[in-house]
Structure 1
């Protein structure tokens, strides 16, 4: 299961308002069966409003806390995930959106305490109605103010779904080299099962991911089509950052050379590409492998 799959549906501010306000109309106060005691209008209103507010604030705060708590704690994430979130979304943007919801929770708590105190001491039915309407109005303004952060979190959730769910604790071998050098075939051969395509937001082709057990340790193999297969001067800034993020998971890089006349890149450009990759991954061992020698 993906790290970010537990993020629930995030409602818009209008949806949130419809949910909590619609339920208020269903809350009633009925006299106990067999009761002959006539309660005053003020007593009935107070009982009704206390019940309504107990539901209203509990439901609203519960839904907002569920949204906030469903997002991962950034500082606890693997560096690979942190870097991808920063590239795709911006860590500040996520922090600001969540902080605004937390601030709203504090305001709602304050409104709830205030209305409970005022209702408890009011002495007229008209005053109780005014207190109720005033509190619902203030709460409604809070919900309206959540439009921007909720819309932002809806967009963030969509972007988080693009982050691949790699086994970040598994030794990982990434394959690089020109297109059609045989990288995906190599991954298929060394993998014990059928490799899967893992989405990666910086390439439309996804990452070709396979696994193999070695002495009870699962080793992960990654082919990186569209990433480590062409000169870096052909990349935009976002693509370069996506490539750099791989440094957090690639323990070894195997660079496949294609020496055949049909190679997509001349051999000299393949050598230059390998040098560029070494600069990006200065601390990652890079193994050179000449493929297709039988076709020369």
Structure 2
């Protein structure tokens, strides 16, 4: 767990606010109306529900606090020690223990009073038992006011802690106050730590992040440490000691050889030797800061010997830098990161897990097959890539050099055609570099095509004006022939259009010729296939008889309906014979082509729109009254009687909770 997980803890209310939250929730979420004429069992259940709900509310709130605050013994050793330095581990545990005890006492009080309420014999006694139960719970919570306030202060301080991950790759900066630790952190990371020319400007841990070898690193700036016993160190110094003791990091010990920090070189060397046991199993880099003022070579022999003694220690590297002039700052960062990576690799190789991997690896070594010496060969292209120096005139010209010559980023546009592999180098920058059959298409485009087209159009207009095309009007001998040709082309166009996808959408799945088979062909094919066609033959004969009878009856009806040449129309629309007799069932006649023509169509005897009405006047009046009745509803867009939609799914008076003191006209 990192310190970032401590920032999500919810605020802890005071005891008075705690009671207001719980008791108001009980009043809102439980019934509030009780009468003395209720059954005693209902009265008991009413007040037992109050007590149990209050107990659950206290249990829920206290349980949330106890779960969100971390248990110190379960944290990472660094975080556990840091919380112990900042808040006193014993006081922190005592506060959480008091809340845990209070929750247990509240549960016991609720349990006891619920047992008493089961035997309440009146409304008054049940009410007093409920009142006593809630009062004892409130008294228990009031006694936890100091523990709640302490936990709230701890929560506020935790939310301001930097997000330190104990398992991440870490660079740890330490040393005397005012030696340039915060300045280095501002240089190599995006952090913004306050830098002042006096001691103990940094009073807590600060974290910054940097990228090295495509990996994220965290850099921790610790407060300054003075050279005195551990028992005499204050909370500010103990934060540094805690980080040095528990974080697996690369330690950067800063020294100021110019003594501008206010502490001598001897004191700084003595502090290094005092805290050196904390550097065990950690890569250490001795950073000689403020090299622009004083360097190691400029020191007196005695002081220089003391510093070199530290440098010659096992596992200690040294770098001289200056945060003021940026000299060696990046070297310090690279040296520290590489030292930590090497240390991590060595630690893994010394462990037992690496054996399981090494057992599965095999490095093949080539065996000599002759006496020829084969030395390593580096291709010339690779050598050219390695040899890149801006001052070398013979270096290979790169794309960024061309970009700089052409105006830089935002102005230069790379030419993607220069790498085309074409037969002729001049084809690369053609307007249309399309190649077909090894030839450039642009070579076959006539540049004068538009002018030639205009000349052709002028020539056509001239021929048309001179009457060159008028002889074509005598192509057809008559209008009938011209119409026949036009109909032929229209039919051809229709056939072509029927072949489109849209026209073929509703076509028959089977061809029309599939059904044009005789009975003999069908029986022959079925017999060859080994099937019995007798039932199909019987059915075909029956259908043929029915179809013949139907055609005979149709011919008789058509004969009856044929119009005699002597027939004529009567005065009342009936067909009459010349002798004055009515022709029976005469409805249709035929023209010369045989098409049926309806002479007197049969109309309905009554108008259905007037059904139930005396006459048309009464029907029109009914329509007017209907429209008049619907006018207001249509204007207001109201639903009619047939609309069964329920517009309000949740009526407010049923779902808004209990009524408060005030007006009751809403129901």
Q: 2:87 aligns with which of 86, 89, 94?
A: 89
1:71 Cα deviation after fit: 0.5
Once residues 261 and 114 of structure 1 are traced to their aligned partners in structure 2, the CA distance between those partners, rounded to angstroms, is 72
Structure 1 residues 238 and 207, CA gap change in structure 2 (3 angstroms): closer
Once residues 182 and 152 of structure 1 are traced to their aligned partners in structure 2, the CA distance between those partners, rounded to angstroms, is 36
In structure 2, the partner of 1:109 is 107
Note if contact 2:205-2:239 (Cα within 8 Å) is conserved in structure 1. no
Note if contact 2:11-2:155 (Cα within 8 Å) is conserved in structure 1. no
Once residues 261 and 201 of structure 2 are traced to their aligned partners in structure 1, the CA distance between those partners, rounded to angstroms, is 21
In structure 2, the partner of 1:149 is 147
What TM-score does the superposition give when structure 1 sets the normalisation length? 0.79
- Structure 1 residue 242 corresponds to structure 2 residue 224: no
Write out per-residue CA displacement over residues 49-102 of structure 1, whole angstroms, 9 at most, x where no aligned residue: 133223311211111111111101222211111112212222222222212211
Q: 2:46 aligns with which of 45, 48, 54?
A: 48
Once residues 218 and 65 of structure 1 are traced to their aligned partners in structure 2, the CA distance between those partners, rounded to angstroms, is 37
Write out per-residue CA displacement over residues 113-154 of structure 1, whole angstroms, 9 at most, x where no aligned residue: 233333233332232123212212221222222223223323
Structure 1 residues 206 and 96, CA gap change in structure 2 (3 angstroms): closer
Write out per-residue CA displacement over residues 4-58 of structure 1, whole angstroms, 9 at most, x where no aligned residue: 2222221222221222233444443569xxxxxx962635533431332233112
Note if contact 1:85-1:91 (Cα within 8 Å) is conserved in structure 2. yes
Q: 2:24 aligns with which of 22, 25, 39?
A: 22
SS at match of 2:4: coil
Once residues 5 and 174 of structure 1 are traced to their aligned partners in structure 2, the CA distance between those partners, rounded to angstroms, is 23
In structure 2, the partner of 1:138 is 136
What does residue range 1-12 of structure 1 map to in structure 2 within 5 Å? 2-12=4-14
SS at match of 1:174: strand
1:166 Cα deviation after fit: 0.8
Note if contact 1:173-1:221 (Cα within 8 Å) is conserved in structure 2. yes
In structure 1, the partner of 2:249 is 251
Note if contact 2:202-2:224 (Cα within 8 Å) is conserved in structure 1. no
SS at match of 1:40: coil
> Aligned residue pairs: how many?
283
Once residues 171 and 177 of structure 1 are traced to their aligned partners in structure 2, the CA distance between those partners, rounded to angstroms, is 20
Q: 1:164 aligns with which of 152, 162, 165?
A: 162
Bigger strand fraction: 1
Structure 1 residues 156 and 95, CA gap change in structure 2 (3 angstroms): same
Note if contact 1:195-1:210 (Cα within 8 Å) is conserved in structure 2. yes
Note if contact 2:208-2:220 (Cα within 8 Å) is conserved in structure 1. yes
SS at match of 2:165: coil
Structure 1 residues 181 and 244, CA gap change in structure 2 (3 angstroms): closer
Once residues 89 and 180 of structure 1 are traced to their aligned partners in structure 2, the CA distance between those partners, rounded to angstroms, is 27
What TM-score does the superposition give when structure 2 sets the normalisation length? 0.38
In structure 2, the partner of 1:34 is none
SS at match of 2:211: strand
Once residues 6 and 81 of structure 1 are traced to their aligned partners in structure 2, the CA distance between those partners, rounded to angstroms, is 16
SS at match of 1:293: coil
In structure 2, the partner of 1:13 is 15
- 131-140 or 272-281, which moves further after superposition? 272-281
Once residues 94 and 159 of structure 1 are traced to their aligned partners in structure 2, the CA distance between those partners, rounded to angstroms, is 13
- 107-116 or 172-181, which moves further after superposition? 172-181
Structure 1 residues 80 and 163, CA gap change in structure 2 (3 angstroms): farther
1:287 Cα deviation after fit: 1.5
In structure 2, the partner of 1:35 is none
- Structure 1 residue 195 corresponds to structure 2 residue 216: no
RMSD across aligned positions (CA): 3.2
Note if contact 1:42-1:128 (Cα within 8 Å) is conserved in structure 2. no
Once residues 185 and 254 of structure 2 are traced to their aligned partners in structure 1, the CA distance between those partners, rounded to angstroms, is 12
Structure 1 residues 149 and 127, CA gap change in structure 2 (3 angstroms): same
Note if contact 1:232-1:240 (Cα within 8 Å) is conserved in structure 2. no
Structure 1 residues 208 and 161, CA gap change in structure 2 (3 angstroms): closer
Q: Indicate the structure whose relative CO is greater, using CA pairs within 8 Å and at least 6 residues apart.
A: 1
Note if contact 2:23-2:54 (Cα within 8 Å) is conserved in structure 1. yes
Structure 1 residues 197 and 65, CA gap change in structure 2 (3 angstroms): farther
SS at match of 1:3: helix
Structure 1 residues 92 and 267, CA gap change in structure 2 (3 angstroms): closer
Write out per-residue CA displacement over residues 132-183 of structure 1, whole angstroms, 9 at most, x where no aligned residue: 1221222122222222322332333344345432121112112234555443
Once residues 105 and 24 of structure 1 are traced to their aligned partners in structure 2, the CA distance between those partners, rounded to angstroms, is 17
